[in-house]
């Protein structure tokens, strides 16, 4: 058993993996993009949200989870998409794609409006069970990631770190990066004490993340 703080999440057992596969193999449809709290869909089901700085691979991860190449679309311009996008997974879950943060190519007033919306959403959405904060394995946790993690701390929303693009990192660099990530996470009271390492391209960690989401109550 790994006794390190923030160990890597274990591969799910066969039954959990199959439940996750079945959920994500079901219908998953775009519901709406939200730019104000008044536009949120009814809070009638469990939801999880995905946050990450621009170019972290968020759209690719959502597409890999759902097995649909074009479900979530990456903006060509980092920081340009300022909507909270809701996807209905079967009739039991919402997958919520938060706008990418960091180097936002948008006017200051637009960024501030988005930040207010994000804070309101995170602190006021009773059906939000977990936030997944995506971090590029090649770079580890950066100051801009710390900002969203601190926001989740203050909103008392449990978040779990998901490392993306793990296939792009050499084995000898992986432990160094994991040590940096663990040290950063240890400062955040809302951080869930497991890390998921993924590669959307190779499929690594996808079954683990599906099973985690399926097992939330």
pLDDT at 16 over 70: yes
What is d(CA 192, CA 212) in angstroms, rounded to the nearest whole number?
Answer: 12
Name residues whose C-beta falls within 8 Å of residue 115's C-beta, 6 or more positions apart in sequence.
none
pLDDT at 110 over 60: yes
Does residue 133 sit within a domain?
yes
Does residue 63 sit within a domain?
yes
Buried b / exposed e over 158-176, threshold 16 CB at 10 Å, is ebbbbbbbbeebeeeeeee
The tokens for 106 are 């948008």
* Closest C-alpha among 108, 116, 192 to residue 149: 192
Q: What is the CATH number of the domain that holds 163?
A: 3.40.50.300
Does residue 24 sit within a domain?
no
Q: What is the mean pLDDT of residues 195-216?
A: 97
What is d(CA 153, CA 189) in angstroms, rounded to the nearest whole number?
Answer: 6
**Span of 6-15, 111-120, 187-196 with lowest mean pLDDT:** 111-120
Q: What is the mean pLDDT of residues 65-83?
A: 72
- Say whether 192 sits in a helix, a strand or coil: strand
Helix axes 143-155, 108-124, angle to 10 degrees: 40
pLDDT confidence band for 69 (50 / 70 / 90): confident
Does residue 202 sit within a domain?
yes
Residue-wise pLDDT for 169-196, tens only, equals 998 899 999 999 999 999 999 999 999 9
- Say whether 202 sits in a helix, a strand or coil: coil
pLDDT at 87 over 70: yes
Name residues whose C-beta falls within 8 Å of residue 216's C-beta, 6 or more positions apart in sequence.
46, 48, 129, 130
pTM over 0.75: yes
Q: What percent of the chain has pLDDT over 70?
A: 92
Does residue 17 sit within a domain?
no
**CA-angle at 146, arms to 55 and 31, nearest 5°:** 50
Q: What is the mean pLDDT of residues 157-161?
A: 97
Stronger pLDDT, 108 or 49, i.e. the higher one: 49
Tokens 């971090």, residue located: 135
Q: What strands lie across the sheet with 128-136, from one edge to the other?
A: 28-34, 84-89, 93-97, 46-52, 128-136, 159-164, 191-197
Does residue 170 sit within a domain?
yes
pLDDT at 3 over 50: yes
Does residue 25 sit within a domain?
no
Residue-range definition of the domain harbouring residue 96? 30-215
| Domain count of the fold of the chain | 1
- Residue pair 101/51 in contact (Cβ under 8 Å)? The answer is yes
What is d(CA 100, CA 53) in angstroms, rounded to the nearest whole number?
Answer: 5
């Amino acid at each position: 058993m790994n006794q390190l703080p923030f160990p890597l999440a274990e591969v799910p057992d066969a039954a959990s993996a199959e439940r996750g596969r079945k959920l994500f193999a079901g219908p998953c449809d775009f519901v709406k993009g939200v730019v104000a709290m008044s536009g949120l869909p009814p809070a009638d089901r469990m939801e999880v949200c995905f946050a990450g700085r621009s170019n972290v691979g968020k759209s690719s991860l959502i597409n890999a989870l759902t097995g649909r190449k074009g479900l979530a679309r990456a903006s060509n311009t980092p920081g340009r998409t300022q909507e909270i996008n809701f996807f209905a997974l079967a009739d039991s879950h919402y997958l919520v794609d938060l706008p990418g943060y960091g180097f936002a190519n948008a006017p200051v007033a637009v960024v501030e409006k988005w930040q207010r919306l994000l804070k309101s959403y995170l602190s006021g959405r009773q059906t939000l069970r977990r936030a997944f904060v995506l971090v590029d394995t090649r770079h580890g946790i950066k100051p801009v990631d710390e900002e969203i993690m601190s926001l989740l701390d203050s909103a008392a929303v449990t978040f779990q770190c998901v490392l993306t693009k793990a296939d792009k990192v050499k084995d000898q660099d992986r432990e160094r990066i994991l040590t940096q990530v663990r040290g950063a996470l240890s400062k955040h009271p809302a951080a869930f004490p497991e890390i998921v390492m993924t590669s959307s391209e190779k499929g690594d960690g996808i079954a683990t993340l599906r099973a985690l989401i399926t097992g939330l109550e």
